[in-house]
Amino acid sequence: MVRVVWAEPAISDLEEVYGFIARDSRKYARLTIERITGVVQRLADFPELGEVLREFAHRRYRQIVVGSYRVIYRADPERDRLLILAVVHSRRDLPPVLENR
């Protein structure tokens, strides 16, 4: 099992997801966040579970889709960790989001 580390921008993404959904339903917002974080915890045991991002194959980024959201991450075997880079709605254009991360 590897250690899961959330990058600061990914934490902000998660907070934005919660805030957006909570405008309509705090309960559904909480459930969505729990679902996303639950899947991320599974990645600790199975870091190659997600698919390789074709747009960023040279950076070894992977993604796993949870509902309407893409969790973008990169395994860092040298540090025995999995770095969560972003949580992005599936309709957003991904390259601009990740360019500065």
In the chain, domain spans: 3-95
Q: pLDDT (tens digit, 0 to 9) for every residue of the chain, 101 residues total? A: 899 999 999 999 999 999 999 999 999 999 999 999 999 999 999 988 899 988 776 778 899 999 999 999 998 888 889 999 999 998 887 766 677 66
CA 95 vs CA 9, 11, 78: distances in Å? 15, 19, 26
- Count how many Cα atoms sit within 13 Å of the Cα of residue 96 in the half-sphere of its side chain: 3
CATH topology for 3-95 is YaeB-like fold (3.30.2310)
Residue type, 18: Y
**pTM above 0.95?**
no
